Chains A and B, each alone.
Chain A
Amino acid sequence: MLAYIVRRVLYAILILIGVNLITFVLFFFVNSPDDMARMQLGAKYVTPDALQKWKADHGYDKPLLWNSKASGPGKATETIFYEKSLRLFAFDFGAAEDGRNIGNEIRTRMGPSLALQIPVFVVALCVNITFALFLAFFRATYLDFWGVVLCVAMMSISTLFYIIGGQYLISKVWHLFPISGYAGGLDAWRFVLLPVIIGVVSSFGSSARLYRTLFLEEYSKDYVRTARAKGLAERVVMFRHVLQNAMIPILTGVVAAIPFLFMGALLSESFFGIPGLGSYTIDAIQAQDFAVVRSMVFLGAVLYIIGLLLTDISYTLVDPRVRFD
């Protein structure tokens, strides 16, 4: 078991190195720092001096991989690869375009992101599983049929419309909640409630339908017939047998998503003006702030890998077949 975890962690590091290389190639080989400087400065202001100054300000004036001018270990460290890519492993993200420290930004913005994402996660999970169980219980009836139609219809609507529609109805027509903004502490709920509702609604269609499929798959297994042959009530068959088995793929799938809660919700945060990591990412993309995008790519990969590890561990916790293997 321990050996297995160690093995997975080693693999995770290998993957992070891969991610690092991909981002490095993407950000520094496809376009040279000169191109980026030209982009940032805008066509009007491109003079060789301005270019040099921009590159120096942002630390892009060094060679990419090997600094033959430097001495000693500096040959390797005074390079863009070392400064911009390898330092990510120490979670040293450097500065954004506006000069602010990205690491600090990430730390302060995690709070609001989690304040929005944790409620969405918990409520959505409960609602979706309950609804899926309901459909599975009434499988092959009209209730099930129309429930699935509802799911398909809801998953056919873009999240953008849920957000815009929700914002319009609740904040503008009914004047229930503030349309956007954020406050720290306990006051946060007033700003977070609407995005939470929208988050839950927009995940509803696809998740509920997926869970229903998982439940039905379990329902067709032999042990369900055994349980019925014992004279157990359908309710017991469902909760003790089907639910327990179907929860294994559901839970482990869900566990993989937990680390991503930190990344925030891209769209909701930006629409509702919540100062989380999601809106930070979007702002960075729109402002073409490559340093931030690079940092978020790395952070996302780290979280993904943590998710993979958590999935492995959660399997061993919930599935006896893996636990005793």
Chain B
Amino acid sequence: MTLQVADLRTVLDTPRGVVRAVDGIDFELRKGECFALVGESGSGKSMTALSLMRLLPEAGRIASGRVSLGDVDLLGLPEAAMRAVRGRRVAMIFQEPATALNPVLTCGKQIVEVIQRHMNSSFEDAKEKSLQLLRAVGIDDAERRFDEYPFQLSGGLKQRVMIAGALAVDPEVLIADEPTTALDVTIQAQILDLLVKLQAERGMALLLITHDLGVVAKVAQRVAVMYAGEIVEVAEREAFFRAPQHPYSQKLFAALPGAGQRGELAVIRGQVPPLTQPFNHCRFADRCDFVFDRCRVEAPQLLEPARGHFARCFLREEGLAPPRQTLSAITKSASEESRDSILLEVKDVKVHFPIRRGVFRRTVGYVKAVDGVSLELRAGRTLAIVGESGSGKTTLGKGVLQLIEPTAGTVIFQEQTISGKSRAELRPLRGAMQIVFQDPYASLNPRLRVSEILLEGMRSLRIGANDAERIAQLGKLLTEVGLPAETLDRYPHEFSGGQRQRIAIARALAVNPKLIVCDEPTSALDVSVQAQILNLLRSLQERFGIAYLFITHNIAVVDYLAHEVAVMLKGRIVERGAVDAVLRNPQHDYTRQLLAAVPRVD
């Protein structure tokens, strides 16, 4: 029994016009295989998944195509019959386990509900089955969890409950839409292992929707790459990872940071074309390094340069592309050891948040977000703070900049103790220490023009004599971060995520900092955009000698950018040292676990 998708087209009615979110895709999901649909945001991969389930949002509709499960045409079924398919034959799990479970029903009820819907069994039988399922997805105390509400469970447990519910009546196909994106890397590894194990045991087909090539490498047997509503490449995993055939896929690999990459990361220039237009040329043409005239006048079909390996590119008429270069880790030479002065010294810093209880809100305890952290950073170097969610790494970053007042400990910056200083005392130092945030959408005030945003800090810190002088400086600065000068007169909403992050970096640079705290600056961005930002950060460091305190959960980024690394767990630093030492030869158990959990492409 296979799931076959033929020429599926899904459109969304938006104020800007009809968006062709999925524009004629074909693929086949074979029994018992794991098929991964990979793409960056906006590629149409999630819309594809929802189309298969016929669970599109209200603005979406399936324009044409055929989805057949065995000999049943899913798109032709009446809604009532389709409901009998959902959950029974095709089940689905979603990205955000925190919101995908009903908050007011117990976990048990949400599983029992599926069983009773499709199996006609009594509550007792269904409960017994649910408990088995909970155990099967690796929940130890199934009886207790059965009666608990979703908010009482951690993210990983919630996703396990979701999986238990999805597998309750042994579906033939499981669609997993970014099932681990919201989870920490160690939990991600567990969930992926679980999915692979369950799939093998039950012989069901798994359609995995993801943006992460590492995840694909770990679990998929076959891969399809989506770009701008189309599938541009389909292949077996080994073939795909050895020699990707479409220029877009090749670029995706080249843009991945990692130990093997030491120079510039490859970037994909431009942006995904708007999907409101019909295409009669290659959708990737404007961003492709190999573009030639034909690409602009004719839309390529899927070609099959090698058996079972398809690519939507005219170049493949000439045969296979050569294998990807896999780079072995380059060890940084000892000469990179810095002799520069110490810029930032953090001594035993603690940030505790009081827990208040009782009638008079007395403090009964503390959340020890940062619990005695010491580190030092030399000028012009990058120190990465790595940790999972809740490890206190962001709080540490803000504590260093005195955006949150540390409970204890000292922060010495440029040989001055800055902890405990008042706002007014800190202001002269503010220019030298800046911050870049994670979310490029929340970090720029939507009501101000870019010029106002950039001027704010300069005015506050009295950089430049007047606005005319400042604007002149900003012109140079924008070139520096790779934005056109007319950016100044526009509003943030006119820019993409990557461009916004450049603006945010320019805002920090405008006051000539010596230290920038980068709080997950690339984790909200697609891989190709992430590469641009990482390149930018690196070149800025080389030219201006800025030191970065780089907060991240992404080991690959650390490997690419950082000189030193500190691993954080529960508010403490468990291991600290040069990047090569820590990542290649981890000493602490937790570091080892963390490194082992990272899915790798090579």
Do A and B have CB atoms closer than 8 angstroms in the complex? Answer: yes
Would B113 and A240 count as touching, CB distance under 8 A?
Answer: yes
Partner of A230, one of B80, B113, B151: B113
A230 to B119, CA, bound (A): 12
A231 at the interface (CB under 8 A from B): yes
Considering the complex, give the chain B residue whose CB is closest to the CB of A218.
B102
B55 touches A229 (CB 8 A): yes
**Given A228-B55, A231-B83, A231-B84, CB of A222 within 8 Å of CB of B100:** yes
Interface residue? B152 (CB, 8 A): yes
For the complex, give the distance between the alpha carbons of A262 and B216 in Å: 65
Residues on B with C-beta less than 8 A from A143 are none
Q: Which of A2-10, A49-57, A76-84, A128-136 contacts B (4 or more CB under 8 A)?
A: A2-10
Given the complex, which residues of B lie within 8 Å of A240, measured CB to CB?
105, 113
Contact with B along A205-244 (1 / 0, CB 8 A): 0000000000000000111011111111100100011001
CB atoms of A223 and B100 under 8 A apart? yes
- Give per-residue flags for A1-31: 1 if the beta carbon is below 8 A from chain B beta carbons, else 0: 0010011001000000000000000000000
B104 touches A244 (CB 8 A): yes
- Do A227 and B102 touch (CB < 8 A)? yes
A228 partner, pick from B86, B101, B118, B149, beta carbons under 8 A: B86
> With A223-B100, A320-B103, A320-B104 in contact, do A229 and B92 touch (Cβ < 8 Å)?
yes
Q: Which of A6, A10, A232, A324 contacts B117 (CB 8 A)?
A: A232
> Which one, A3, A244, A248, contacts B357 given CB within 8 A?
A3
Contact A7 B55 (CB under 8 A): no
B99/A222 in contact, CB under 8 A? yes
Whether a CB of chain B sits under 8 angstroms from the CB of A122 is no
Given contacts A3-B357, A10-B359, A230 and B149 within 8 Å (CB-CB): no
- Distance in Å: Cβ of B177 to nearest Cβ of chain A: 10
- Chain A CB within 8 A of B358 CB: yes
Q: With A7-B359, A229-B53, A232-B83 as given contacts, are A245 and B102 in contact (CB-CB < 8 Å)?
A: yes
Report the nearest B residue to A321, measured CB to CB: B151
Contacts of B165 in A (CB 8 A): 226, 230
Does any Cβ of A come within 8 Å of B162's Cβ? yes
A7 to B101, CA, bound (A): 33
Q: Is the CB of B94 within 8 A of A222?
A: yes
Which of B55, B149, B361 is the one whose CB lies under 8 Å from A225?
Answer: B55
The answer to whether the Cβ of B91 comes within 8 Å of any Cβ in the partner chain is: yes
CB-contact partner of B86 in A230, A245, A321, A324, under 8 A = A230
Q: Is A289 an interface residue (CB 8 A)?
A: no
In the assembled complex, B114 has its CB within 8 A of some CB on chain A: yes
Say yes or no for A319: interface residue by CB 8 A criterion.
yes
* Proximity bits, B278-295, A CB within 8 Å = 1, else 0: 000000000000000000
- B92 and A248 contact, CB distance less than 8 A: no
Which residue of B85, B96, B162 contacts A231 across the interface (Cβ within 8 Å)? B85
Inter-chain contact B102/A226, CB cutoff 8 Å: yes
Q: Which residues of A contact B151 (CB under 8 A)?
A: 320-321, 324
A43 part of interface (Cβ distance < 8 Å):
no
Q: Who on chain B is nearest to A325 by CB?
A: B151
CB distance from B82 to the nearest CB of A (A): 8
B88–A231 contact, CB under 8 A? yes
Contact B152 A226 (CB under 8 A): no
Partner of A223, one of B53, B84, B101, B361: B101
A186 within 8 A of B: no
Q: What residues of chain A lie closer than 8 Å to B100, measured between beta carbons?
A: 222-223, 225-226
Check if B104 sits within 8 Å of A231, measured CB to CB.
no
Complex interface: chain B residues within 8 A of A232 (CB):
83, 87, 113, 117
Instruction: Report whether B359 and A229 are in contact in the complex, using a CB–CB cutoff of 8 Å.
Output: no
In the complex, chain A residues whose CB is within 8 Å of the CB of B118: 231
**Shortest Cβ distance from B55 into chain A, in angstroms?**
6
Residues of B near A140 (CB, < 8 A) are 58
- Set of chain B residues within 8 Å of A10, measured between Cβ atoms: 359
Interface residues of A in 300-325 (CB under 8 A from B): 318-321, 324
Residues of B within 8 A of A226 (CB): 94, 100-102, 162, 165
- In the complex, which of the residues B88, B92, B149, B162 contacts A324, with contact meaning CB atoms closer than 8 Å? B149
* Interchain nearest-CB distance for A12 vs B (Å): 13
C-alpha gap A321/B92 in the complex (Å): 26
B83–A225 CB distance below 8 A: no
CB distance from B164 to the nearest CB of A (A): 12
- Assembled-state Cα–Cα distance A99/B118 (Å): 73
**Secondary structure of the B side of the interface?**
mixed
Q: Does the CB pair A245–B87 fall under 8 Å? A: no
Contact mask for chain B residues 211-255; partner A; CB cutoff 8 A; 1 contact, 0 none: 000000000000000000000000000000000000000000000
Q: How far is the CA of A239 from the CA of B149 in the complex (A)?
A: 19
Q: Tell me, in angstroms, the Cα distance from A245 to B361 when the chains sit together.
A: 30
Least Cβ–Cβ distance between B118 and chain A, in angstroms:
6
> Interface size of A by Cβ–Cβ distance < 8 Å?
28
A324 touches B152 (CB 8 A): yes
Residues of B within 8 A of A231 (CB): 83-88, 114, 117-118
Chain B positions within 8 Å of A229 at CB level: 53, 55, 86-87, 91-92, 166
User: Within the assembled complex, what's the spacing in Å between the Cα atoms of A6 and B103?
Assistant: 28
**Chain A minimum-CB-distance residue to B98:** A222
Smallest Cβ distance from A40 to chain B, in angstroms?
Answer: 46
Say whether B152 contacts A241, CB under 8 Å.
no
Which residue of B has the minimal Cβ distance to A227? B102
Cα A140 to Cα B104 in complex, Å, equals 26
User: In the docked arrangement, what's the CA distance between A233 and B84, Å?
Assistant: 9
List residues of A (251-269) whose CB comes within 8 Å of B's CBs.
Answer: none
Taking the closest CB of chain A, its distance from the CB of B126, in whole angstroms, is 13
| A3 and B55 within 8 A (CB) | no
Q: With contacts A222-B100, A226-B162, A230-B87 known, is A321 near B114, CB below 8 A?
A: no
User: Which chain B residue shows the least CB distance to A222?
Assistant: B99
- The answer to whether B149 touches A321, judged by C-beta atoms less than 8 angstroms apart, is yes
Residues of B within 8 A of A244 (CB): 102, 104-105
CB distance from A309 to the nearest CB of B (A): 15
Query: Binary interface profile of A, 170-194, with partner B (CB < 8 Å = 1, else 0)?
Result: 0000000000000000000000000
Set of chain B residues within 8 Å of A236, measured between Cβ atoms: 117
| Smallest CB separation, B57 vs chain A (Å) | 9
* Set A6, A225, A320: member contacting B94, Cβ < 8 A: A225
Docked-complex contact B113 and A245, CB < 8 angstroms: no
What is the CB-to-nearest-CB distance from A47 to chain B, in angstroms, rounded to a whole number?
56
**Residues 324-344 of chain B: 1 if any A CB is under 8 Å from the residue's CB, otherwise 0?**
000000000000000000000
Per the bound structure, the CA–CA distance linking A319 and B151 in Å amounts to 11
Interface string of A41-74 (1 = CB under 8 A from B): 0000000000000000000000000000000000
A231 to B90, CA, bound (A): 9
The minimal Cβ–Cβ distance linking A291 to chain B, given in whole angstroms, is 36
Q: How far is the CA of A223 from the CA of B87 in the complex (A)?
A: 14
Q: List A contacts of B152 (CB < 8 A).
A: 324
Asked whether, in the complex, the Cβ of A230 is within 8 Å of the Cβ of B104, the reply is no
Contact A222:B83 (CB < 8 A) given known A229-B91, A230-B113, A231-B117: no
B512 to chain A, nearest CB (A): 45
Residue of chain A at shortest CB distance from B149: A320
Considering only CB atoms, which chain A residue lies closest to B361 in the complex? A7
A241 partner residues in chain B, CB cutoff 8 A: 102, 105
CB distance from B144 to the nearest CB of A (A): 13
A222-B96 in contact given A228-B55, A244-B104 (Cβ < 8 Å):
yes
Nearest-neighbour CB distance to chain B for A108, whole angstroms, equals: 38
Q: How far is the CA of A232 from the CA of B113 in the complex (A)?
A: 8
A-B contact pairs, 30 of them (CB 8 A): A7-B360, A7-B361, A10-B359, A222-B96, A223-B100, A223-B102, A225-B94, A226-B94, A226-B100, A228-B55, A228-B86, A229-B53, A230-B86, A230-B87, A230-B113, A231-B88, A231-B117, A232-B87, A232-B113, A236-B117, A240-B105, A240-B113, A245-B102, A248-B104, A319-B104, A320-B103, A321-B103, A321-B151, A324-B149, A324-B151
10 closest A-B pairs (Cβ-Cβ)?
A: A231-B87, A231-B86, A230-B87, A222-B99, A223-B102, A320-B149, A229-B92, A3-B358, A222-B100, A230-B114
Q: Which residues of B contact A (CB under 8 A)?
A: 53, 55, 58, 80, 83-88, 91-92, 94, 96, 99-105, 113-114, 117-118, 149, 151-152, 162, 165-166, 357-361
> 12 new A-B pairs (CB below 8 Å) besides A230-B113, A236-B117, A321-B151?
A3-B359, A222-B94, A226-B100, A226-B102, A228-B86, A229-B55, A230-B86, A230-B87, A231-B86, A231-B88, A233-B80, A319-B104
